[in-house]
Structure 1
């Protein structure tokens, strides 16, 4: 495969990690970021060229869009005339109107960076759920708790909840209907969300930026077996009950899944797509369903605005 040429919009805290992994995967990276200091940092890190705006980036095989959330739609619109695939950091946007506009305009070329859909533990839980190894799925429960929100443009709900809703999509194949939501305050520091279709599994997500201890867990419960990813850094999942016809005992309750970092895995998937491979896991339609669900859940919880 020839060297992929990528235009990267954003070189902040997360954008620098994306840049690092793109370079490690062999890509030639051009960076657009408004800050002169950030442009200098990008050059020092090995960017082939830098620009102030997405529209000034050179032609590339594909683009990764990772500025602050409120700038996602603006950057995508600027790149639409290029006709190239775009990998947009989650959430696609922080409002369903602009998300729907982008999907209607170029949904076949837009994908979203839902890195948890590439976590080895989530991939294995999803495989077990979809193959019936747990029996009919009864529930998916997740916790994403910690202290602080480093994002200044949107509140913690818009930053944290997309992860857990995308995990539900990966495990169940679709996102159930929002049923209930409650927030501890009006500032969007956290949310308890419940989603369920009429005859489907119960999905419960709790997110918080006001918790004293970091906690990242996902539990899938089926009719006769269950599985858990106990921490984001775990290289194994925990099983109980009967899984794929095998009774789980203390000797086989742990299943190794590997330790590949999700960010690198999803960027590799995007580069492979640019070379003719399958599309990344999160389509524009998936992304729109997540944005719409968050907007609905926020309304249910009495959270009015998206920005901080």
Structure 2
């Protein structure tokens, strides 16, 4: 099946306005305010972003990419990675206390219920597996949370952007212009986003999943771009074309957190078969 075709599914979203309309239609009576980073946010969330914004420098990002993109952390099956991840509690997330496997299945089951293709369902199941970096010894501020561009001026659309004042890059003049070290329209693949699970998992799965899925995985935490329109001057036409897939995925990643917790063992046979359709028994991490 062409990756762009979904059986009995709505077309991918073309704009932020469509995104808002779609989620309001999907949850008209929910009343839950997701991504609420106001004064009532948990102290651990605020402290997470303070550490993240202070420590994620341009050089730090390049060093982590060099360390992990070569995939030298051993081989595991996808399901083994899911079980490995399940001990993690994400300090950046203000919206849920579900286990990691439960959140992955909440996402994938919501995608499945809407009739999307099997590669899309699998993307939902796997999208946060890059968080295993925390279990390799990386601090959470280097793995989870919203991502942002480094090497250019910080956007005030990033949550808790006030903390950037204490990042050493704030004092580097070449990093604090609109384009910074980049050329306009250079493409997001050439922009060093703050390091995290999105970038790591992209390298793990890039040889196995279609381009639409790779955009969902690599940029689903890049809220300043896909939710707020920041940094678009660095995006390419290909990035803008695939933005609709990131938006389509995001409604399931975020709004599935209100759904009933899944029965993991009951669903496991379906997902093991789905994983085997796209991946060998063991893959490099």
Do they fold alike, i.e. is TM over 0.5? no
Larger Rg: 1
Which structure: greater strand fraction?
Answer: 1
- Provide TM-score, normalisation by structure 1: 0.24
- How does the TM-score come out when normalised to structure 2? 0.26
